[in-house]
Structure 1
Amino acid sequence: MCLPRWKIPAWVEQARHALLAIAIAVAAPHAAVGQETGVGDAFELVDPDTLRVCADPRNLPFSDEAGEGFENALAELVAEKLGRPSVDYTFFPQGVGFVRNTLQAFRCDIIMGYAQGDELVQNTNPYYQSAYALIVPPESELADVTRLDDPRLQGKRIGVVAGTPPATSLAKYGLMGTARPYHLMVDTRASSPVHDMITDLAADEIDAALAWGPMAGYYAQQQTPPLKVIPLTSEVDGPRMTYRITMGVRPSDQEWKRELNDLIRENQAEIDALLLDYGVPLLDEQGQPITR
């Protein structure tokens, strides 16, 4: 699908002209004060009236074009709290080039969910923490397994997305021989590996599944009966399973980041409730589950 041609808003052009004027002034003989005080640092190309969101068009439970993901709902909440009358999306499949073609191209001003520490964006403070999870039927003999080195997992058909931290642990514990791998890098407009994996689990084609917590919780609660989601917070060896999630903004947008940090701090309880509605397994700073 071709992306629609983007027309540069008037406020962006005005800001660019202002920056150009400052650059010319800095080049003049008497501009030393302007250089020392960092005059241009105050200009941030963030739309003051519309919350412009960078998102994947088909990546539930996070976002989609129909607005059914929890990041869509979070964007509406953020816009409301900031007094922005509307939310506008730039959709692009998440993968290679996502940040470059959206946030860095000034086509939008915020990515609603980004792992803390990723260098492609500037992170806000985290607004939730979750973990990769084991998903099993509630009546399964594996329903009380909490670690991937549990001997009861030996010989089981375990679904796992290739290239993720749980896949590394399965290899470490000799579980890949009977595992069923699902693709990591896919066009989300045509495929959803975690959805397919959970569907296979519900159909008894595999015995257990491993997935990132928000995806695990969302798809598990859609089954009848709902599947059991066990966050992998007890791993003592192997790759990291727990991650903090932030909002992503441009490195130049310092004031915008501070505004979002204030919003997160002041509305954390409401954000938690929203995420729990979508089945996201939330963890506190001690790695303990957050419930209602």
Structure 2
Amino acid sequence: MTALNRGMAGAAILASLGMSSWTACAAESGVAKAAGGASLRVCASTVEAPYSMADSKGFENRIAALVAEAMGRKIEFVWSKQPAIYQVRDGLDKNLCDVVLGVDEGDERVLSTKPYFRTGYVFVTRTDEADIGPSWKDAGKSDFNRFAVRFQTPAELMLKRLGKYEENVSYGLSLVNFEDKRNKYTQVAADKLVSEVASGNADVAIAFGSDVGPYVRTSSKPLKVTMIEDDFSLEDGTKVPLHFNQAMGVRKDDEDLAKALDAAIEKARPQIDELLKAEGIPVLAPNT
């Protein structure tokens, strides 16, 4: 990928747009600030809910603030109006900011920190409908025919393996109003995935756990989240990971900052875990 992975398992997404305007500002309401000291410049998108939002209330905005506080630094978000997939290329690599959240641990484009949480792909279903099991193969049951998924993710690959992709294409495009995906980044909004299941338009949503957890928590219709086992592979036997450690990324030559972030993540881990639980984000060990 060309920017944040967020459990995308290396899916190819073309970052073909030009650099967006970036604006730096210290976080205000609802985000802690350390008195004095250096700032921690964090790349942030205004359009990446539930992770990052213009009011600094995205759950990763708040995690960044906890880590900055543990470092004794003032949090400074460097904002972009583009999706977060452009943050490494247009923000971090251009020295406009120093930290990117939500990269898969070991992302080769950055020097990644130790993870601050681990999650994976999940099924979202209605509690009053048929149960679904924890294997990706369970989505192949006859009870499930319409799936809300994001483009270019393992969820699409699952549907292809199950023989349910072609019949789902038109529905999937309807989730973005049939907007052309060529030469631009077009993605299904995370809250849309959940609302489609809640309304009965989709039988199942298949999504990254942290994409949908906060919206499942606040859904007016009771929904169930089932973590999918990490047992998915392509027809040729190539394994497609479904569980991912989520880390922070810095420039590869910024080893001192990476070490400082590692220490701060450990210091703030109890507060981070509490925040994730409150947001309804399904987590895997070591969080559980």
Residue 145 (1) aligns with residue 163 (2): no
Which region of structure 1 is more displaced relative to structure 2, 117-126 or 152-161? Answer: 152-161
Give the structure 2 partner of residue 36 of structure 1. none
Aligned equivalents of 1:105, 1:204: Cα separation in 2: 44
Give the structure 2 partner of residue 271 of structure 1. 272
1:117 positional shift: 2.2
Aligned equivalents of 1:216, 1:97: Cα separation in 2: 21
Structure with bigger gyration radius: 1
Give the structure 2 partner of residue 252 of structure 1. 253
Aligned equivalents of 2:137, 2:23: Cα separation in 1: 51
Q: Pick from 227, 230, 243 the counterpart of residue 226 of structure 2.
A: 230
**Deviations 1:196-250, CA, capped at 9 Å, x for gaps:** 2222211111111111110121111121233111111253544211111100111
Number of aligned residue pairs: 245
What is the TM-score when the length of structure 2 is the normalising length?
A: 0.76
The alignment partner of 1:233 has SS state of coil
Give the structure 1 partner of residue 7 of structure 2. none
Alignment of 1:1-292 (within 5 A): 3=21, 49-94=38-83, 97-141=86-130, 143-150=131-138, 151-153=140-142, 156-179=145-168, 180-181=171-172, 192-233=188-229, 235=231, 237-238=233-234, 239-285=240-286, 290=288
1:95 positional shift: 5.7
Where do 5+ consecutive residues of structure 1 fail to align? 7-47
**Deviations 1:160-195, CA, capped at 9 Å, x for gaps:** 11210121111111122443425689768xx75222
1:97 positional shift: 4.2
The CA RMSD measured in Å over matched residues stands at: 2.8
1:269 positional shift: 2.1
CA contact (8 A) 1:54 1:92 kept: no
- From the superposition, tell whether residues 77 and 95 of structure 1 become closer, same or farther in structure 2 (CA, over 3 Å): closer
CA contact (8 A) 1:54 1:108 kept: yes
The alignment partner of 1:72 has SS state of helix
Where do 5+ consecutive residues of structure 2 fail to align? 1-18, 25-36, 235-239
Aligned equivalents of 1:140, 1:173: Cα separation in 2: 21
Aligned equivalents of 1:127, 1:282: Cα separation in 2: 11
